[in-house]
Structure 1
Amino acid sequence: MASSDPTVAAVFDAVAATAPEIRAALPGRRVESGMENASGESVLAGDLYADELLGDAFTAIDGVGSFVSEEREEAVDAGGPVGGGPDDAYAVAIDPLDGSSNLRSNNAMGTVVGVYDAPLPARGRDLVAAGYVLYGPITTMVVADEAGVREEVVERAPDGDGVERSVVEGDLTLPATPTVYGFGGRVPDWPADFRAYARAVEDDLKLRYGGAMVGDVNQVLTYGGVFAYPALRSAPEGKLRLQFEANPIAYVIERAGGASSDGTGSILDVEPEAVHQRTPLYVGNEALIDRLEAAVGD
């Protein structure tokens, strides 16, 4: 069921419409672009293609006032003020191709989207909707909004004109009994307190980690468990971007009945300081996040 907010509905209509195009274009875009993004990371041709396609789609939506992505230094003005007023527009933040390093090895990737009712950078509490596309064996889209969380299969229409979307789960919630875990970063780079937490949970859960946050989080959403990209010795502020990755994923998981944390409290409460700000991210079943905060919190 589409969102009752027409702008949110239009944003995810655009995400769904571009997903088959992004997927179809990936085989020829597995090479380096020769550019770096705003975070100083090497960008593949697939990153740039997805960014341009989604940027064009979002800035054409009347209710979108600004657009920013992991691949851009600053927000793009799409027309209209962004804020909390009744006539104000939304800001859209994306990671256009999450896990693009998996492109060379042909593993899962995705697109992450957050729709904010505030100028960026903004708190996660300013999100009105968030979601992601997973380019796995099939293409799925998970959307969280005021109605809850749903999962759709997205396919190109048989006649090649447009896409077909079918809801496979209209009220998606985390299973009560957790099954899987996936933790990013190199083990020697984990702080001692997080390493102890990892040793404790691995006795009860199965490892599922594929190197693309969207795929790893989707495992948690499907089976229950915990995903973490912790603060590292070499990156104490974390690796994931708050606006494009952490906030949207935290919103999805919390709307699905789970919990999120930066180590001390909900990701959605983190006060933003910059568009490309990084943060540790922990999401999953509430009991596992409570244990995490007890282990690593100050």
Structure 2
Amino acid sequence: MTDADPAADGGVAPGGTDPAVEAIFDAVAATAPEIRAALPGRRVESGTDNPSGESVMAGDLYADELLGDAITAVDGVGSFVSEERETAVDAGGAVGEADGEPPYAVAIDPLDGSSNLRSNNAMGTVVGVYDAPLPATGRDLVAAGYVLYGPITTMVVADDAGVREEVVEADADGSVSRTVVEDDLRLPDDPLVYGFGGRVPDWPDDFTAYAREIEDELKLRYGGAMVGDVNQVLTYGGIFAYPALNSAPDGKLRLSFEANPIAYIIERAGGAATDGEVDILDVEPEGVHDRVPLYVGNEALIERLQAALD
């Protein structure tokens, strides 16, 4: 069990991670119980749209505000970029600059799957820690993770050391603890589940043909929140996709906030990720709110997908 307050001793964080990176995930974990506790009163539309033109729930704005305050207060964070904000927030982090290294840029989806608020289904928070100014490729990620607000609040964190799963809890004294429950999370070799987003009539023919094959082999697990659906794949093995659509050939998910961090996690767990042509982590962005098709999961399933889309 580790306290979710950022460590002040400058020691080596779990997995050998840079203490500044671990402090970012401490900050994310510290906000999780507060975000969760506030959701019942924020299940309504906020009356505003995000930079991608989507209607924003009150819960989105609240989570964004809490996470923005917590993450920009971490030493070593130079900028904070959110799906809910048009431009980056200058956090002024200076750690590492004396050695010629830039501070970290943190990109978040504050409340992935917030449309599930009304139906009381799973949702989460997605985090990417980049060592380059955004927009950047996924190769500039040094760590990524997500919080899942399911029956239990968990956080999955990936870095160079691998992927670990933690339980996040608010303790009686008001502190927040992170308890590692799996220190080497890997995709199972025998996949069991799949989840495909978008309206079926809007799927391109080549993806539809692939989906028909997968439906005969795996069990459907799709809940309308990428974090929850990807967590199913990470737990049981399989494939998640939000494909290119006939009406949206560039896909729906945002590269910086969603696709890159999830691809990083899945690849560190032994899987693969693609936009249908190249590894997601190699996609060159033009802007911080760029969209991209996303396909992640067991390597053999992704290889079959790419062959089907050729």
Match of 1:103 in 2: 117
Match of 2:43 in 1: 30
Normalising by the residue count of structure 1, what TM-score does the alignment of the two structures yield?
0.97
Shift of 1:158: 2.1
Q: How does 1:73-112 map to 2 (within 5 A)?
A: 73-80=86-93, 86-112=100-126
Aligned AA (1:145): D
Match of 1:20 in 2: 33
State the distance in 1 between where 2:95 and 2:205 align: 42
- 8 Å contact from structure 1 (residues 82, 117) kept in 2: no
Match of 1:7 in 2: 20
1:65-96 deviation digits (Å, cap 9, x = unpaired): 00000000000111147999643200000000
The SS at the match of 1:243 is helix
Q: Give the direction of change, closer, same or farther, for the CA distance of 1:231–1:6 in structure 2 (3 Å limit).
A: same
Match of 1:62 in 2: 75
Normalising by the residue count of structure 2, what TM-score does the alignment of the two structures yield?
0.93
Match of 1:257 in 2: 270
Shift of 1:3: 4.8
- 8 Å contact from structure 2 (residues 102, 132) kept in 1: no
Aligned AA (2:155): M
1:238-270 deviation digits (Å, cap 9, x = unpaired): 000000000000000000000000001210000
Of residues 270, 273, 278, the one that matches 2:291 is 278
> Is 1:289 aligned to 2:302, yes or no?
yes
State the distance in 2 between where 1:187 and 1:44 align: 26
Shift of 1:162: 1.2
> Is 1:222 aligned to 2:235, yes or no?
yes
Match of 2:153 in 1: 139
Match of 1:153 in 2: 167
Aligned AA (1:87): E
State the distance in 2 between where 1:277 and 1:81 align: 28
State the distance in 2 between where 1:186 and 1:205 align: 19
Count of aligned positions: 296
What 5-or-longer segments of structure 1 have no aligned partner? none
State the distance in 2 between where 1:42 and 1:211 align: 16
Match of 1:168 in 2: 181
> Is 1:126 aligned to 2:116, yes or no?
no
- 8 Å contact from structure 2 (residues 75, 94) kept in 1: no
Shift of 1:164: 1.7
1:45-65 deviation digits (Å, cap 9, x = unpaired): 100000000000111111000
Aligned AA (1:101): S
- 8 Å contact from structure 1 (residues 83, 90) kept in 2: no
- 8 Å contact from structure 2 (residues 162, 184) kept in 1: yes
The SS at the match of 1:51 is helix
The SS at the match of 1:265 is coil
Q: Give the direction of change, closer, same or farther, for the CA distance of 1:35–1:82 in structure 2 (3 Å limit).
A: farther
State the distance in 2 between where 1:211 and 1:179 align: 19
The SS at the match of 2:109 is strand
The SS at the match of 1:144 is strand
State the distance in 1 between where 2:141 and 2:70 align: 20
Q: Give the direction of change, closer, same or farther, for the CA distance of 1:83–1:94 in structure 2 (3 Å limit).
A: farther
Superposed structure 1 runs of 4+ greater than 2 Å apart = 1-4, 80-87
Aligned AA (1:120): L
Match of 1:114 in 2: 128
State the distance in 2 between where 1:17 and 1:263 align: 36
Match of 1:189 in 2: 202
Q: Mean alpha-carbon deviation: is it higher for 280-289 or for 76-85?
A: 76-85
Aligned AA (1:12): F
Q: Give the direction of change, closer, same or farther, for the CA distance of 1:42–1:82 in structure 2 (3 Å limit).
A: farther
